[in-house]
C-alpha cells in the first residue's frame, strides 16, 4: 500500500502492526504485556498471523517453543524476544508533516530536525551535473557548496549528521553502463564554520577510478573527531572490503585503514563494524562484529550457523544503543536485527522481517527501516526501542528507504509509486 | 487440462479459455544467469548469457564463448563501457554470430519494446535492455540509489499481464539483495521509466534495447 495523504497532508492515526510470534501461551503473553509495556494502539498476532488484540506478546528469554534464531551469537547475550514484523495496513501519521520533491529539484538524504533535511538540490534537474549538497527546508533549499565544473562531477548522495554538521558520500556520475563502480568522495560540513571539506576520495585511496561498489549502500558516520566509511581497498592487486576513518576538521587527509570489514557505525570512542567477510553464492556476509577504539580492534561477537550461511549485513549505533542485522544467502529467510546496549551486556530484542536486508537508520529511541528497491516488501517501519511499538510508515515502490534524524525523532519518509520522482515527507514520530 | 487454467508446455505457458482454446501467455527463453565479473561488464555478460542460451559456443571467427571474449567483440574494455552510442553491443553480437542478427533502438516506444520481446521467441535470440536509473527516482531489484545505466536480458514475458521477467547480471555481484531473475510488473512501465528518458545532456545516446531482427 502506498503512503496516502489527505488534502491537509496528514494521514491516519498511528497504527501499529507489529506481528509478534513465539506465543507459547496466551497467559504468558498477557503477563509479559504487563512486564514489557506496549505502545498505544499496538496490535500483534501469533504465528498463525491472527490478531491478538493490543498486547505486545513475547516469549520469555530462551523460549524455544516459537520462533528461534537460525544462527548462534557467540560472545554476547542473544536470548531476547523475537518480534516478527508483518506487512502494515494503515499508515501512521507524522506530527508537523511537510513535503518536498516530486520534480527532481530537491532530493532528500536524511533529516536534521523537523524543519531541515540534508540532501541535494538543483535549479535545473535536466542537468545531472548541477546538483549540490544542500539544506532543504519548507520554503526552499540552501546550497552548502559551489556547483562543480569540469569533466569529473560527483553526485551528492547519502550520509549522516546533525545540526552541528554532517558527513556524506558522493559518486562520480557515469555516462554509460558502468553499473557497479563507486568512484566516491567523502565530504564534511561544519555548521560552526559553514565550511565543507573534502575528506578523501576513492581515487586517492586506490589510485584508480574504478573502485567497485561495496555491498549494502554504505553511508559514512561520524563521532566528535572522526568520520568512518567502508570501501573496497586495492592492495597489491587485491580488492578487500576495508573500514577506514578520516580525521574531521583537518581537510583532506590520509585515511586510517582500520581493518578488513564493512558497515562502520561510529560510537563515542571509536567505531563498531562487521568483519571476517565470507563470500556466499549470492553475496558477501560478515561473520563477526568488531570494535575499534582508535588504537586497536577486538571482536565483540561471532556469528555461527549450520551451513555457515548467516552473517552480518548492517550495523548501527547511537548513544547506548547498538543494532546489528543478520542475513542469509537465501532471500526467503528474511533477516534479523538484534538490539543491545552499548556494552553488549544486554540483548534488548530481536526483529525478524521478510526482506533479506534493510536500509536503516537509528537514534536513541527508534530504528527506522525499509527494503530499498527490492522487488518485494516495499513497506517502511519504525521500531521504538523503549516501548516495542512498531509503526508502519507506508510503502514506497522502488524507494523504500525512510531515515530518522540522529538527535530527534524527525523522519524522512519517501513516497513513490514506482513511476517517477520521489516525494519526501518530513514529520516527527511520537 | 481444466478450462480457465494454465498449462506449461516447453518454454511457453498457455491459458485455456472458456472454450478450451489455448492462448500462449507466458513465454521464456530460460536464460541461465551469469554474474558480471567486474563493474562495467553488464553488457558482455548479458550478451554471453544470450549466446550461451542459443548454443553459440564458438564465434564466427573461431573464438570460444566466454564473457571476456564477448567483451572483446563489444570493445568494452577499450571504451570502459558498452557503448550504445556506437552500437557496440549490436556490433559484438553480430560479429560473434557472423550475421546481422541484432539491431539497436534508442529510447524505444513501448510498442517497439513489446514487439521486440515477442519476436524474440520466434528468432530464439533474447532481447537486452540498456536501462537508466536516477537518484531520487525509483529503482528495482535491490539496486542502489544512484544514477547509472545497466544492461539486462529479457527472459520471460506475460502477454496477458504485461509482466516482464528479467535476468540481472549484477544481482548478488553488485547488489546483494537483488535476484538473478526477477519479475517487473509492467513492461510498459519499465519502458517508460527506464528506457525512454535520457538524463544526461551530453548529446549522446545511452539507453535503449538490443534485439534480433531475424
Nearest chain A CA: its distance from B188 CA (Å):
11
| Interval A356-374 mean pLDDT | 95
| Pairing label, strands A238-247, A423-428 | unpaired
Instruction: Of B135, B149, B151, give the one whose Cα is nearest residue A217.
Output: B135
| Interval A350-374 mean pLDDT | 94
| Secondary structure of residue B95 in the 3-state scheme | helix
Place of cell 513535503: A99
Q: What gap in Å lies between CA B83 and CA B92, rounded to an integer?
A: 11
| Interval A117-131 mean pLDDT | 94
pLDDT band (50, 70, 90) for residue A52: very low
Q: What gap in Å lies between CA A124 and CA A111, rounded to an integer?
A: 23
A364 found inside a domain: no
As a whole number of Å, the CA-based R_g of chain B is 17
| Interval A44-61 mean pLDDT | 31
Nearest chain B CA: its distance from A116 CA (Å):
18
Instruction: Of A337, A335, A318, A319, give the one whose Cα is nearest residue A327.
Output: A335
A144 found inside a domain: no
Contact assignment for A374 to B138 by CB distance below 8 Å: no
Over the range B23-37, which residues count as b (16 or more CB within 10 Å of their CB) and which as e? eeebbbbebebbbbe
Q: How many residues does chain A have?
A: 430
- Among A331, A372, A419, select the one facing B189 at the smallest CB separation: A419
Model confidence pTM above 0.90:
no
Over the range A76-110, which residues count as b (16 or more CB within 10 Å of their CB) and which as e? bbbebbbbbbbbbebbbbbeebbebbeebbbbbbb
Residue of A nearest to B137 (CA): A421
Contact assignment for B136 to A107 by CB distance below 8 Å: yes
Query: What CATH number is attached to the domain comprising A270?
Result: 2.130.10.10
In degrees and rounded to multiples of 5, residue B94 shows phi and psi of -70, -40
All three cell numbers of A331: 532471500
A242 found inside a domain: yes
| Residue A86 or residue A350, greater confidence | A350
pLDDT of A264? 98
Instruction: Of B130, B79, B118, B139, give the one whose Cα is nearest residue B212.
Output: B118
pLDDT of A6? 31
pLDDT of A281? 65
Q: Does the pLDDT of residue A283 top 80, yes or no?
A: no
C-alpha distance from residue A378 to each of A324, A417, B180 (Å): 21, 10, 19
ipTM: 0.84
- Distance from chain centroid for Cα A214: 15
> In chain A, what residues touch B144 (CB-CB under 8 Å)?
213, 217, 372-373
Q: Where in chain B is the domain with CATH 3.90.70.30?
A: 31-212
Q: What gap in Å lies between CA A106 and CA A36, rounded to an integer?
A: 42
Per residue in B152-193, pLDDT tens?
Answer: 999 999 999 999 999 999 998 888 778 999 999 999 999 999
> In chain A, what residues touch B179 (CB-CB under 8 Å)?
331, 375
Nearest chain A CA: its distance from B58 CA (Å):
26
Residue of A nearest to B171 (CA): A282
| Secondary structure of residue A32 in the 3-state scheme | helix
Q: Does the pLDDT of residue A27 top 70, yes or no?
A: no
Which residues of chain B carry a pLDDT beneath 50?
none
Number of domains chain A contains = 1
A267 found inside a domain: yes
Contact assignment for A399 to B145 by CB distance below 8 Å: yes
Q: What gap in Å lies between CA A383 and CA A112, rounded to an integer?
A: 19
Q: How many residues does chain B have?
A: 214
- For testing contact with chain B, the best of A109, A110, A124, A176 (most B CBs within 10 A): A176
Residue of B nearest to A280 (CA): B172
| Secondary structure of residue B140 in the 3-state scheme | coil
Contact assignment for A283 to B179 by CB distance below 8 Å: no
All three cell numbers of B138: 525509483
Range B31-212 classified under CATH 3.30.465.10:
no
Q: What gap in Å lies between CA A273 and CA A252, rounded to an integer?
A: 23
C-alpha distance from residue A249 to each of A116, A190, A197, A198, A223 (Å): 23, 8, 8, 10, 12
Per DSSP, which regions of A178-283 are E strands? 184-190, 195-201, 221-222, 226-235, 238-247, 256-260, 262-266, 271-279
Task: Give the mean pLDDT of chain A.
Answer: 84
Per residue in A148-206, pLDDT tens?
Answer: 988 889 999 999 999 999 999 999 987 655 556 789 999 999 999 999 999 999 999 99
Contact assignment for A180 to B174 by CB distance below 8 Å: yes
Per residue in A236-265, pLDDT tens?
Answer: 999 999 999 999 987 777 899 999 999 999
Q: Does the pLDDT of residue A28 top 90, yes or no?
A: no
The parent domain of residue A294 ranges over 218-358
| Interval A392-416 mean pLDDT | 96
**Sign of the Cα pseudo-torsion (B64, B67, B71, B77, in order):** negative
pLDDT of A56? 34
Amino acid at each position: 500500500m502506498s503512503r496516502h495523504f489527505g488534502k491537509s497532508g496528514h494521514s491516519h492515526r498511528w497504527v501499529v502492526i507489529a506481528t509478534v510470534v513465539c506465543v507459547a501461551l496466551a497467559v504468558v503473553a498477557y503477563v509479559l504485556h504487563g512486564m514489557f509495556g506496549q505502545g498505544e494502539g499496538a496490535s500483534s498476532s501469533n504465528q498463525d498471523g491472527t490478531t491478538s488484540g493490543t498486547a505486545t506478546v513475547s516469549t520469555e528469554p530462551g523460549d524455544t517453543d516459537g520462533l528461534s534464531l537460525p544462527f548462534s551469537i557467540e560472545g554476547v547475550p542473544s536470548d531476547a524476544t523475537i518480534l516478527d514484523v508483518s506487512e502494515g495496513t494503515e499508515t501512521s501519521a507524522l506530527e508537523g508533516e511537510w513535503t518536498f520533491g516530486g520534480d527532481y529539484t530537491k532530493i532528500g538524504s536524511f533529516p536534521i530536525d523537523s524543519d531541515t533535511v540534508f540532501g541535494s538540490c538543483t535549479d535545473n534537474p535536466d542537468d545531472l551535473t548541477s546538483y549540490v549538497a544542500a539544506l532543504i527546508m519548507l520554503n526552499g533549499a540552501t546550497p552548502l557548496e559551489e556547483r562543480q565544473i569540469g569533466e569529473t562531477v560527483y553526485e551528492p548522495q547519502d550520509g549522516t549528521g546533525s545540526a552541528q554538521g554532517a558527513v556524506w558520500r558522493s559518486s562520480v556520475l557515469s555516462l554509460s553502463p558502468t553499473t557497479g563502480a563507486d568512484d566516491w568522495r567523502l565530504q564534511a560540513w561544519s555548521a560552526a564554520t559553514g565550511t565543507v571539506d573534502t575528506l578523501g576520495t576513492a581515487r586517492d585511496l586506490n589510485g584508480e577510478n574504478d573502485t567497485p561498489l561495496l555491498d549494502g549502500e554504505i553511508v559514512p558516520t561520524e563521532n566528535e573527531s572522526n568520520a568512518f566509511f567502508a570501501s573496497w581497498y586495492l592492495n597489491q592487486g587485491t580488492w578487500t572490503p576495508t573500514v577506514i576513518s578520516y580525521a574531521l576538521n583537518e581537510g583532506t587527509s590520509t585515511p586510517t585503514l582500520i581493518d578488513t570489514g564493512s558497515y562502520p557505525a561510529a560510537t563515542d570512542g571509536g567505531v563498531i563494524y562487521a568483519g571476517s567477510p565470507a563470500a556466499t553464492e549470492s553475496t558477501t556476509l560478515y561473520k563477526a562484529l568488531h570494535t575499534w577504539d582508535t588504537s586497536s580492534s577486538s571482536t565483540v561477537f561471532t556469528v555461527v550457523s549450520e551451513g555457515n550461511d548467516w552473517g552480518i549485513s548492517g550495523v548501527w549505533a547511537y548513544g547506548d544503543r547498538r543494532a546489528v542485522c543478520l542475513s542469509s544467502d537465501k532471500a526467503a529467510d528474511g533477516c534479523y536485527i538484534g538490539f543491545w546496549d552499548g556494552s553488549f551486556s544486554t540483548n534488548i530484542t530481536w526483529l525478524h522481517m521478510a526482506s533479506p536486508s534493510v536500509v536503516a537508520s537509528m537514534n536513541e529511541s527508534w530504528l527506522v527501516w525499509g527494503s530499498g528497491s527490492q522487488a518485494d516488501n516495499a513497506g517502511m517501519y519504525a521500531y521504538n526501542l523503549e516501548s516495542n511499538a512498531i509503526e508502519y510508515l507506508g510503502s514506497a515502490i522502488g524507494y523504500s528507504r525512510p531515515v530518522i534524524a540522529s538527535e530527534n525523532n524527525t523522519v524522512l519518509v519517501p513516497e513513490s509509486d514506482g513511476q517517477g520522482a520521489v516525494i519526501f515527507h518530513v514529520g516527527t514520530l511520537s | 487440462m481444466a478450462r480457465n487454467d494454465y498449462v506449461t508446455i516447453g518454454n511457453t505457458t498457455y491459458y485455456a479459455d472458456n472454450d478450451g482454446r489455448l492462448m500462449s501467455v507466458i513465454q521464456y527463453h530460460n536464460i541461465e544467469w551469469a554474474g558480471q565479473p567486474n563493474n562495467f561488464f553488464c553488457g558482455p555478460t548479458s550478451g554471453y548469457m544470450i549466446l550461451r542460451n542459443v548454443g553459440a559456443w564458438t564465434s564466427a571467427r573461431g573464438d570460444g564463448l566466454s564473457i571476456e571474449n564477448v567483451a572483446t567483440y563489444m570493445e568494452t574494455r577499450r571504451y570502459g563501457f558498452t557503448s550504445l552510442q556506437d552500437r557496440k553491443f549490436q556490433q559484438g553480437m553480430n560479429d560473434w554470430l557472423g550475421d546481422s542478427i541484432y539491431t539497436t533502438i534508442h529510447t524505444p516506444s513501448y510498442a517497439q519494446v513489446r514487439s521486440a520481446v515477442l519476436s524474440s521467441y520466434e528468432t530464439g535470440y533474447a532481447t537486452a535492455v540498456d536501462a537508466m536509473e536516477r537518484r531520487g527516482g525509483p529503482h528495482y531489484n535491490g539496486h542502489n540509489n544512484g544514477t547509472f545505466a545497466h544492461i539486462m536480458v529479457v527472459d520471460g514475458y506475460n502477454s496477458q499481464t504485461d509482466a516482464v521477467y528479467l535476468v540481472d547480471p549484477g544481482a548478488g555481484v553488485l547488489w546483494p539483495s537483488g535476484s538473478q531473475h526477477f519479475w517487473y510488473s509492467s513492461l510498459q512501465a519499465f519502458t517508460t521509466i527506464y528506457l525512454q528518458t535520457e538524463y544526461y545532456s551530453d548529446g549522446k545516446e545511452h539507453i535503449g534495447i538490443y534485439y534480433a531482427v531475424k
